[in-house]
Amino acid sequence: MRFDLTGGVVCLGETMVVLVPAEPGPVRDVRTWTRAVGGAESNVAIHLARLGLRSRWVGAVGADAFGGAVLDFVRGAGVDVSGVRVDPTRPTGLYVKEADAAGSPVRYYRRGSAASALGPDALRRVDFTDVALLHVSGITAALSESCLDLLRAALSRPRDHLVSFDLNWRPALWADRDPTVLLELADAADVVLAGADEAEAVWGTGDPAKLRALLPTPRTIVVKEGARGVTLVEDGVFTYQEALRVDVVEPVGAGDGFAAGYLAAHLAGLPPTRRLRAGHLQAAACLLTSEDVGEPLPAEVTGPLLDADPATWAAAHLRRTG
């Protein structure tokens, strides 16, 4: 999939170094690790760049080797990182994950990170002149009071661009914070993306109709139901698209892939079903790898499936090889 769009996209949030076991067995026995880079918003930025959009990531890293690795990786994926602050005193965040097709346990080491010191002044580093979309997530709101202030400023400022908000519920980050603010933030966006399970946990319902009632302001609400499918609510119309069958290597990052595929198609003005299919196809690229951001599926796969009849879509089965 490739999209030729005139406006750029800005993704705002924290990106960290990721350590993944490079050998099987319990984590306490692992001696060899693979270093990667991950963060919900920069993942989306990288996906969007690979889909052909002009993509920027805005955040903060430490003036350390991990920070340099983050910048090199994101920049190397074709994303503009000129709006990233290099903090001279605070470290780059870190998380450790185990790759498992049933769900990958994650341990965060991000308290006091460079990104946790972000505030509304970060918006001054962004030229919004040619921006079509600003993408944020609920993760940022949990990092610190100043990060919450940043999201409020980003969502309340006068704008000519769209703002998308991905709930991205991370319970561990909200242990000593009040998550009710997430409803306020989501309702200030133009496009809201949320998993039905996480919406149930945070807002008491994952039902698309009830979420529409809870969130009257956004024009578009996208409710993901895992391996089953996704419902799009827009202008009083509910559109459901079942997910593709995929041989899952591990699921971390698939939600970011879906968000990027959907948002690129949304900006391109595609109809609801094709937008949802674009999201599913980009998510599938993540599910087929242990990396947070997988390489896009080849055009000979995505092209026919975007326009396939319902029976062909339902019969498709994506495997790691072939």
Q: How many CA atoms does the CB half-sphere of 234 hold within 13 Å? A: 17
Q: Which residues pair with 151 in a beta bridge?
A: none
Q: How many helices (H) and strands (E) does the chain have?
A: 11, 16
Residue of 141 and 319 predicted with greater confidence: 141
Give me the helix-helix angle, 254-267 and 40-50, nearest 10°. Answer: 50
Q: CA 146, CA 144: separation in Å to the nearest integer? A: 5
Q: How far is CA 79 from the centre of its chain?
A: 15
Collapsing DSSP states into helix, strand and coil, what is residue 305? Answer: helix
Residue of 208 and 125 predicted with greater confidence: 208
Task: List, by residue number, the catalytic residues.
Answer: 256
Tell me the two tokens of residue 214.
């809870």
- What's the DSSP call for residue 136? E
Q: 102: Cβ–Cβ under 8 A, 6 or more apart, which residues?
A: none
Per-residue pLDDT of 49-90, as tens digits, reads: 999 999 999 999 999 999 999 999 999 999 999 999 999 999
Report pLDDT for 156. Answer: 95
Hey, how many other C-beta atoms are within 10 angstroms of the C-beta on 145? 11
Query: At residue 130, does pLDDT exceed 50?
Result: yes
Per-residue pLDDT of 274-287, as tens digits, reads: 999 999 999 988 78
Query: At residue 102, does pLDDT exceed 60?
Result: no
Task: Give whole-number Cα distances, 103 to 52, 87, 183, 206, in Å.
Answer: 30, 33, 26, 20
Q: CA 187, CA 220: separation in Å to the nearest integer? A: 11
